[in-house]
């Protein structure tokens, strides 16, 4: 086993180093969250992960000289590429797109802190992944109160085994995460480790009034409180968040057909979409039918497309999507670059909305 190559003192020291890094990055965390990272090891859940080499190939990293340092670094560890799990990859590696990973620990800590798990809370996790986050939830709530679900049988089975070996007998079930897990409902806390454009209604329905839902929505992490009337309201965390999408919500398979499109000059350089603060704001203005992949846009309602290159934008379809980005940028500057944590989020039977109140008291609201 991988752990035989490192003694207990090394492993403990590695957890202390990671917990210290998390505290520095995340700021004022609950002492219970920091304690969870000190007590729950990461390495049993990511015994093998991919390194992306300079030649563009993802190669599996096992217990070599840098393995322990990387496992306990504050970094994302890719564990699956185009459906190939790191444990199954040969030394030649795999080319493709990451399809599963162990989340950035400091972002995990911020989300767990926002979730405010108390001992005995019934917790539902959407997106089992490696099982590491579920183990942290078990430490915080008690393993008997944690349910984790994923659509991938391999991930659920592997995580169930590793959780058991770590002493956490949580419920791990293979289901479609969009449906939650009604058999274990209701829950005091619901957390998602996969990105969605809108919160699936099941997550809200299965949360008790007064309970909390923490989930990545449109490139930011939303924290909502369930109200007695069935709605949930809250705000976004301050950090950007890039998560693997909930299965079925990916954007793969489309390209801007530049050969059949026109182009124009723009005073707004394409680099503005590299700013996660503005990118989140722009996505709200673009609306729920528009998908953005970096600097490329596509409206799945009317087929309009745009791809920005420097100060040139290549356009396709019936409308100019880049005009919306330009208008959003002007509004963003006029309102002093609103931060995501200033915005409100609301979800209920009547719809899901993000709101922003300007200094003059006026309010703008967008549909998710």
The catalytic residues are: 100
d(CA 282, CA 170): 40
Burial annotation 106-138 (CB, 10 A radius, 16+ → b, else e):
bbbbbbbbbbbbeeebbbbbbbbbbbbbbbbbb
CA torsion 83-163-62-109 (nearest 10°) is: 90
d(CA 148, CA 129) in angstroms, rounded, equals 9
DSSP string, 165-198: HTT---EEEES-GGG--GGG--EEEEEESSBBSS
- Measuring CA to CA, how many Å separate 285 from each of 28, 38, 56, 355, 368? 32, 41, 34, 12, 10
Nearby residues of 318 by Cβ (< 8 Å), 6 or more positions away: 302, 303, 304
Cα–Cα distance for residue pair 186/180, rounded to 1 Å: 10
Angle between helices 105-115 and 132-141 (to 10 degrees): 30
Query: How many other CB atoms are there within 10 angstroms of residue 245's CB atom?
Result: 15
Where in 258-350 does DSSP place strands (E)? Answer: 262-265, 290-293, 296-299, 305-309, 312-316, 344-348
Picking from 105, 127, 96, the residue whose alpha carbon sits closest to that of residue 24 is: 105
Around Cβ 81, how many Cβ atoms within 10 Å? 23
Torsion sign across C-alpha atoms 20, 9, 60, 136: negative
What the block records as the tokens of 264 is: 């124009």
Cα distance from N-terminal residue to C-terminal residue, the chain: 46
Spatial distance between the Cα atoms of 283 and 242, rounded to a whole number of angstroms: 14
């Amino acid at each position: 086993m991988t752990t035989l190559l490192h003694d207990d003192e090394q492993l403990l020291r590695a957890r202390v180093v990671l917990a210290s890094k998390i505290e520095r990055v995340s700021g004022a965390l609950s002492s219970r969250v920091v304690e969870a990272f000190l007590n729950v090891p990461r390495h049993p859940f990511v015994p093998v992960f991919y390194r992306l080499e300079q030649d563009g190939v993802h190669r599996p990293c096992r217990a070599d000289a840098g393995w322990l340092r990387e496992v306990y670094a504050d970094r994302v560890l890719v564990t699956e590429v185009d459906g190939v799990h790191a444990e199954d990859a040969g030394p030649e590696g795999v080319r493709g797109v990451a399809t599963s990973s162990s989340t950035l620990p400091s972002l995990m800590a911020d989300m767990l802190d926002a979730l405010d798990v108390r001992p005995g809370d019934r917790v539902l996790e959407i997106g089992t992944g490696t099982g590491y986050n579920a183990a942290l939830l078990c430490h915080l709530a008690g393993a008997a109160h944690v349910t984790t679900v994923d659509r991938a049988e391999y991930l659920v089975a592997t995580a169930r085994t590793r959780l058991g070996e770590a002493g956490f007998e949580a419920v791990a079930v293979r289901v479609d995460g969009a449906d939650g897990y009604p058999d274990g409902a209701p829950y005091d806390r619901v957390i998602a480790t996969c990105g969605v454009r809108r919160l699936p209604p099941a997550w809200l329905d299965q949360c008790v009034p007064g309970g909390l839902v923490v989930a990545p929505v449109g490139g930011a992490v939303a924290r909502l409180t369930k109200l007695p009337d069935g709605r949930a309201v809250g705000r976004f965390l301050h950090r950007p968040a890039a998560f693997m999408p909930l299965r079925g919500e990916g954007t793969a398979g489309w390209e801007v057909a530049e050969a059949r499109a026109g182009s124009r000059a723009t005073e707004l350089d394409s680099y503005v979409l590299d700013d996660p603060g503005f990118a989140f704001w722009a996505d709200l203005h673009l609306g729920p039918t528009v998908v953005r992949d970096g600097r490329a846009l596509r409206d799945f309602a009317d087929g309009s497309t745009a791809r920005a290159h420097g100060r040139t934008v290549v356009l396709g379809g019936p409308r100019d999507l880049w005009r919306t980005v330009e208008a959003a940028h002007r509004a963003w500057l006029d309102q002093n670059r609103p931060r995501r944590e200033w915005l409100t989020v609301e979800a209920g039977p009547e719809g899901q909305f993000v709101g922003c109140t300007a200094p003059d008291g006026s309010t703008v609201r967008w549909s998710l």
